Amino acid sequence: MLTRKQHELICFIADRLAETGVSPSFEEMKDALELKSKSGVHRLISALEERGFLRRLPNRARALEVLKMPEVKAAAKKAAPTVAPSVSAPLPTPANDVIEIPLHGRIAAGVPIEAMEGATMLPVPAALLGSGEHYALEVSGDSMVEAGILDGDYALIRRQEVARDGEIVVALIDDSEATLKFFRHEGGMVRLDPANRSYDPQRYRPDQVRVQGRLAGLLRRY
């Protein structure tokens, strides 16, 4: 059995997720439950976590996942399905989720440069990423400007070792240098195409090129 306040909080969070896809803030939860401080909200959330009703999503800012609902709430939803979803229905992913992915140095969008590894983490909105494992690289150069990829952008890369013609990939050349280019096959060669008319395509033997991932998105700071 949940206390009245615990029941009110789990219902408030579930309703807000169903309506907006965004977890309510601690301030909003405090006001909704008419609590005097946010410490009371923390205690309620911890109690709901211990009882298996809630889960805090790791590496994500202000994100809560409802794992199950109290029986009274679930029964009410059967009569009024337009309110928050029932226990068996998946709740929407909070739209404000942030995931931290590894930031591996700078990558040339022009002439290939040495692939750099680093331990820095970059916070990225989850909506920019799909399934799979991702990492980020800071773009250096202007050879992909016609594809909207500018110097200083952060390229969000989905790890994969194969690519289709026309995809933008991170290509590791001779196991030492990396570049961001359009990937294409040309006869028995691999052609890496820039998106800038000032640069020429680069051609390599297939054994010289290893695909390290495909471009999944971009982050830009202003």
Active-site residues: which are they? 143, 181
Using alpha carbons, select from 53, 4, 59, 54 the residue that is nearest to residue 33: 4
Q: How many CB atoms lie within 10 A of CB 76?
A: 15
Looking only at the bridges linking them, the beta strands covering 54-56 and 64-66 are antiparallel
- Rounded to whole angstroms, the Cα distance separating 181 from 188 reads 18
- Rounded to whole angstroms, the Cα distance separating 122 from 141 reads 20
Beta strands in 67-186 (DSSP E): 98-108, 113-114, 120-125, 134-140, 154-158, 168-173, 177-186
CA R_g for the chain: 24
